[in-house]
Amino acid sequence: MHSADEIQRLVTIAFTLEAISDKDGCTTRYVDLPGKSLQDFLIAGINVGKYFRSLADDVTHEADQIEIFRYFVPALNVSNANKSSKYVNFGLLESMFLTVVARLLSRSGFAAIDRMGELLERRKTEDVHHLLDARKRAWSTSTNEAKRNFDDSAERHLSSVAEFYRYLTKAFSTDTSNFQWGNHALQGFPILRKTYEALQSTSDIIETIPIIHRSLRAEYPAMKIGILADYSAAAIFLHLYDDEIAKSKT
């Protein structure tokens, strides 16, 4: 298992590489989308690193009983510390918290992706509350009135993250990011798995991510572009983790 300091470093690198990679429809080193500048993503990715260090420490002491999303809201807060408009890195954080915990508890990257589904099924109401609190915070700056006025009182009784994701697939239409996010998790994270698998056969992440992104957009034409990007960062983290292990054995 990597140290907490190493986890912070790898997560920060993953967020940075994802942000600058050339992905059609996203902010990249070539394109600044309105209200979502590359600077915002880079600063946010650096600022949240300390929470992944704390998460890694928690895994050491709590293992399977860990609250995966304990630091979601404070991480969102520091993501927005240097900007005043829409929150950034919401999906990136949600995917990365789960990925980091699963990898620290697993023997390989593919085993970690398998483990993620098991972690979601745990009875952990606290994690449901963390996810709901994070959504309220992130959606507070949304231009969508329904999101801005989100009332989560009916969902606070849900006992697991998987149950919450099942709720998302029933409460929202298939063309919404809420449905797609929940459905992707319940389907076993196929986008994460395919991105990670593709990265395993390359030594150049920056050149490979655009190729993977185009391939996934063709395979999942209805999928929100942001979700593809969010899981790119998680896949990069898994790849970097493996690479560090390989280097330590040489």
List the domain boundaries for the chain: 4-244
pLDDT computed for residue 173 by the predictor: 94
Rg (CA), the chain: 17
pLDDT computed for residue 250 by the predictor: 66
In angstroms, the Cα distances linking 197 to 21, 173, 178, 184, 246 are 18, 30, 25, 17, 16
At 79, the amino acid letter reads S
Q: Which of 29-33, 162-166, 203-207 has the highest mean pLDDT?
A: 162-166
Q: Is the pLDDT of residue 85 over 70?
A: no
Q: Is the pLDDT of residue 247 over 90?
A: no
Phi/psi at 36 (5° precision): -140, 65
Q: What is the pLDDT of residues 49-70, one digit of tens each?
A: 999 999 999 999 887 789 999 9
Cβ neighbours for 85, distance < 8 A, ≥ 6 positions apart? 35, 141
User: Could you write out the DSSP letters of every residue in 231-244?
Assistant: HHHHHHHHHHHHHH
| CATH class label, 4-244 | mainly alpha
Asked if 199 and 235 count as a contact pair (C-beta separation under 8 A), the reply is yes
Both structure tokens of 22: 């050339």
Asked if 68 and 101 count as a contact pair (C-beta separation under 8 A), the reply is yes
Q: What is the pLDDT of residues 186-209, one digit of tens each?
A: 999 999 999 999 999 888 999 999
Phi/psi at 216 (5° precision): -70, -35
- DSSP label at residue 64: G
Confidence of residue 83 (pLDDT cuts 50, 70, 90): low
Q: Which residue reads 């054995």 in tokens?
A: 249
Q: Which tops the pLDDT comparison, 142 or 182?
A: 182
- Any bridge partners for residue 33, and if so which? 36
pLDDT computed for residue 72 by the predictor: 97
Q: Is the pLDDT of residue 88 over 80?
A: no
Total count of residues recorded for the chain: 250
> Structure pTM?
0.94
